[in-house]
Structure 1
Amino acid sequence: MKEIQPKELAKKLRSDEDVNVIDVREDDEVAQGKIPGAKHIPLGQIPDRLNELDKNEHYYMVCRSGGRSGRACEILKSEGFDVTNMSGGMLAWEDETE
């Protein structure tokens, strides 16, 4: 599974690259804050919401610590999507971007 460090993803976002971030945490977790521009699709809804994603795009998956986003990557990869997991999730994101 491809992975990206939070610092690298933050750099891509700052450089205005066209970056697709999907946050797979639950509603209450996302309410506490998310990566600017990230699309929220809870992990359990991924299989039912594949139609919202484009197989020609690349997606960066994010959760709290990296476990659920890893599972989301496996699901999407099995469906033919190009995905990368953000290592350490939002816990690492907060450490890297503060």
Structure 2
Amino acid sequence: MKEISVVQLHELHQNGADFQLIDVREPLEHDIANISYAVLIPLAEVPDRLAEIARNKQVIIHCKSGGRSGNIVRWLMAQGFDNVYSLAGGITAYAQQIDTSLTVY
């Protein structure tokens, strides 16, 4: 499984890179803390919303700590996606290392 660090994600965003960030947590989790430029597609909805996942640019999947995103990245790769990465440490790592104003839950 391919991973990207929160520092690498932050650099991509700061540099204006063309990528897609998908949050696979539940809406209640997203309400607690979120990365403003992420698209919310709860884990259970991913199979029905594949058309919303880009195939022509880097796609980074995140959850709370990396478990769910890792699982969905492996599943997406089995579906033929070769451009997907899991955010190592999830939003917890992002809140600790990049945006300390976010709530860690």
Asked if TM exceeds 0.5, the reply is yes
Q: How far does the alpha carbon of each residue in 1:57-88 deviate from its partner, in whole angstroms, 9 at most, with x for none?
A: 22101000000001110121111112001100
The aligned counterpart of 1:71 is 71
Per the TM alignment, residue 36 of structure 1 is displaced from its structure 2 partner at its CA by 2.0
Q: TM-score, normalised by structure 2?
A: 0.87
Q: TM-score, normalised by structure 1?
A: 0.93
The aligned counterpart of 1:88 is 89
Q: How far does the alpha carbon of each residue in 1:34-72 deviate from its partner, in whole angstroms, 9 at most, with x for none?
A: 112111001111111112223222210100000000111
Per the TM alignment, residue 12 of structure 1 is displaced from its structure 2 partner at its CA by 0.8
Cα RMSD, aligned residues only = 1.0
Aligned length: 98
Q: How does 1:1-98 map to 2 (within 5 A)?
A: 1-81=1-81, 82-97=83-98, 98=100
Give the counterpart letter for 1:24 in structure 2. Answer: V
Asked if 1 retains the 8 angstrom alpha-carbon contact of 2:20 and 2:54, the reply is: no
Gaps of 5+ in 2: 101-105
